[in-house]
Structure 1
Amino acid sequence: MSSPKSRAGRPSPEQAERKRANLILAALDEFARVGFSAASMRDIAKAAEISSRTLYNYYPDKLALFAACLEHSGHAIQPTLPKLSGDLHSQLVNYTVAMQEQLSTPQAMQITTLIFREANGFDALRDIAREQFERYQVAPVARILEDHNMSGDQAKLLAPQFVSMAFGEWQRRVLFGGPPLTKEIATTQAQIAADIFISGISHFYKL
């Protein structure tokens, strides 16, 4: 028996996915432009060329939509990062430079500035940002450390320490202004952070 035909006018899975992707891009633009507090779900729906009802069918509130935006951004970055090879120092440096390049795009900088500016006023917003930070910045470093004979518990403990060191200059520019990091400066900063990090932990861990 053949499967029942779709109702007339019902979008295909591909069309539905494109609609959702357009919605995320419209929401990212709105959040980056006016901030989380001022962002309007109605304006986002209008920019995405969907009804407000359709928007709320996808995401019940603005926090859920913002979480989806961060998830989309973090997931989109991952395929652009290089496949890492070489020793621990090289992998840490190459990962940091590639990640900072992605985080320094205008939209990424705007979204990060928004988080720093508004997260203290919204516990849920801060929790969403922390989850994305752990998943897309800390977890890859932990995997690098595990690949170099560090236990999972040790890697989870030390990965945030390296990220704090390696991304310090990038974070300073987000908070206090300044041009995006050039690749040369980002590489120098990453090399210094990797040198200090590996030298420090080598007293306690065999790598």
Structure 2
Amino acid sequence: MQVSEAERKGVDAPVVAAPTGRADQTLAKKRRLLRIAREEFIRQGYRAVTMDAIAQAAGVSKRSLYLWHEDKAALFRACLAAGVDNFPLMQFNEAADPETDLRAFGLALLREFIRPSTVGIARLLLREANEFAEFGPLIRHSRDEHLVRPLARYLERAKIVDGHCDSQAKLLLAMILTPVHDYLLVGDALPDERECTIHVETAVRTFLCGQTRLSRAA
């Protein structure tokens, strides 16, 4: 499994200073725009944010903003996609120990989901999902494409599960992210680093023990 340095530390990736090339400068401006737009969505909520306000906060012209993102919905989708890029990658390695792999993945994932910016987006989605029907498909697509299916493929290749791989991947993800769900739904405190480590180790061990029992019963 491969994770970035920012993921290992559980912090937001730093904004890279713009290189000298014009294309690189434009790319840096686009990245900065998405970071600021994400902050504005979290601070104000999806409904209250305007494209004009985001352009002003990011220091870009409205012409550039609409050239890069045709409307607020497209900009919000881009912000979600930028956040998804921070998710850890679950990759199969025959030489690796599956339990160690799953623990590393689970810890990187939980660290990502307790970051302030990720929690802020999650709160926004929960708060405004009933008003904006497009949020549901966006969330499901991100979850399935970037978390469920890669993890399901890993579980199948590592011979941890035999059939129903997607549902088993969803189960493991739910177990790993329980502290985040508890924080968002009932107001429990988010775990610190030590608590994250203990929780992920327990979740992965419990999941694997359950799979072993199912295999023996079959």
Under TM normalisation by the shorter chain, which class is it? Answer: 0.7 to 0.9
Aligned length: 195
Letter in 1 for 2:67: N
Instruction: State the SS of the aligned residue for 1:121.
Output: coil
Q: Distance in 1 between matches of 2:56 and 2:104?
A: 40
Q: Among residues 113, 136, 158, which one is paired with 1:148 in the alignment?
A: 158
Instruction: State the SS of the aligned residue for 2:191.
Output: coil
Q: Among residues 67, 71, 76, which one is paired with 2:81 in the alignment?
A: 71
Alpha carbons 1:45, 1:51 under 8 Å: kept:
yes
Shift of 1:140: 3.9
Q: Among residues 22, 35, 46, which one is paired with 2:56 in the alignment?
A: 46
- After superposition, the Cα gap between the structure-2 partners of 1:56 and 1:16, relative to the gap in structure 1 and judged at 3 Å, is same
Q: Distance in 2 between matches of 1:158 and 1:164?
A: 10
Whether 2:72 is the aligned partner of 1:62: answer yes
Whether 2:24 is the aligned partner of 1:14: answer yes
Instruction: State the SS of the aligned residue for 2:70.
Output: coil
Aligned to 1:172: 182
CA-to-aligned-CA distance 1:32-54 (integer Å, 9 cap, x gap): 11111111211111111112232
Whether 2:134 is the aligned partner of 1:124: answer yes
Aligned to 1:6: none
RMSD: 2.7
Q: Distance in 2 between matches of 1:205 and 1:155?
A: 14
Q: Distance in 1 between matches of 2:215 and 2:29?
A: 49
Q: Distance in 2 between matches of 1:181 and 1:142?
A: 26
Shift of 1:132: 1.6
* Between 34-43 and 176-185, the greater mean CA deviation after superposition: 176-185
Shift of 1:139: 3.4
Alpha carbons 1:63, 1:125 under 8 Å: kept:
no
Aligned to 1:100: 110
- After superposition, the Cα gap between the structure-2 partners of 1:94 and 1:83, relative to the gap in structure 1 and judged at 3 Å, is farther
Letter in 2 for 1:105: R
Aligned to 2:44: 34
CA-to-aligned-CA distance 1:4-54 (integer Å, 9 cap, x gap): xxxxxxx93222212211210111110111111111211111111112232
Shift of 1:151: 7.4
Instruction: State the SS of the aligned residue for 1:120.
Output: coil
Aligned to 1:4: none
Q: Where in structure 2 are there 5+ consecutive unaligned residues?
A: 1-20
Question: Normalization by structure 1: what TM-score?
Answer: 0.81
Shift of 1:61: 1.8
Higher Rg of the two aligned structures: 1
Aligned to 1:23: 33
Q: Where in structure 1 are there 5+ consecutive unaligned residues?
A: 1-10
- After superposition, the Cα gap between the structure-2 partners of 1:119 and 1:167, relative to the gap in structure 1 and judged at 3 Å, is same
Letter in 2 for 1:22: R
Shift of 1:153: 5.9
